[in-house]
Each structure stands twice: as structure tokens, then as C-alpha cells.
Amino acid sequence: MDTTQLLKGVLDVAVLAVIRDEDGYGYDIVRRLRAAGIEEVGDASVYGTLRRLYSGGMLSTYVVPSDGGPHRKYYGINDQGRAMLTDHRKSWEQFAGIMSGLLSDTKPRTARVRAIGEKA
């Protein structure tokens, strides 16, 4: 399966996660994502996401001048961003658990489906 489709929904959280511990500039963040195993992500998608998160108040930003070249724009996560990350992590874990259960062959699917929809 093409993971780029999956990635679209979670790139926000992935970006927040890789700068949770350390601020980073655009391409630095791309490298971290790739190092973490998200190989297919386009750098422009990451920069656009950074800008959207910044507009949404999740990030702070500052510019660092560079000696021999163009300046770098650094992004850091703020409290609102951390809160969002925590939120997303919880819902992701829940969702991932459900998906893992759904997709695994060992458990009865119907029971799980009822649990999701709370129909039982």
C-alpha cells in the first residue's frame, strides 16, 4: 500500500513529534522524518505543514543567520503544540490498536466492529 496517502492524515503529528525535544529548521526536520522511516515525504509538504501548524498557533519560529549562506528559519513546539501532540498520540494509539485488531487474522472481526460502533 502507498503510505503517502496514510501520511497525509498524520504528517502534522509526525512533524510535531520530531521537534518535540529539539527545535529544527526546514530541511533538518525533513531529515529527521526520513531518519525515522518516513521516506516518501516531500520537503515542500513538510514546509507547508510547518507553516500551517505555525498559523494554528502550535509552533514558535525564529530566524538564525548563517555565515556563508542564506538564513535558516527554525521552528519550535509551544504549549499548545504539545497539548495537541498529546491529544493526537492518545487518539492515534486507540485508532492504531483498533486498526491492528481489525487487520490481524487471529481475532474475530465482528466483535471488534461492534466495539467501535458501540452497537453491542
Partner 1 sequence: MTTTLDYEQVTAFATAVRRSLVDLGPDSLDDLTDGLEADLADKLADGEPLGDAAAYAAELRAAAGVAPATRPTIAVNVRANLADLRSRFAPFVAHPIVVEVTAFFVALRPVWWVLRAWGLFFILAGFHTVPSNPYDPWLLIALLVLSVQWGRGRWLPWKWSRGAVIVLSVVALLALPTAASYLVQKITYVDDMDPNDFIPTGLLLNKQQVTNIFAYGPDGEPLTDVRLYDQSGQPLSLSGAWGEETYWIDEETLLVPSEDAGTEGWNVYPLQTVDYADVTEDGTVPTWAKREQPELPFASVHQLRGYEAPVDDNK
Binding site for partner 1 (CB under 8 A): 11, 25-28, 30-31, 42-49, 51-52, 54-55, 63, 66, 68-73
How many helices (H) does the chain have, and how many strands (E)? 5, 3
Q: For helices 26-35 and 3-18, what crossing angle results, to 10°?
A: 120
Q: To the nearest whole angstrom, how small is the minimum distance from the Cβ of residue 71 to partner 1?
A: 6
Q: To the nearest whole angstrom, how small is the minimum distance from the Cβ of residue 3 to partner 1?
A: 16
Rg (CA), the chain: 18
> Is 18 or 25 the residue whose CB approaches partner 1 more closely?
25
* DSSP structure class, residue 57: T
Asked if 24 contacts 49 with a C-beta cutoff of 8 angstroms, the reply is: no
Q: To the nearest whole angstrom, how small is the minimum distance from the Cβ of residue 81 to partner 1?
A: 16
> Is 39 or 118 the residue whose CB approaches partner 1 more closely?
39
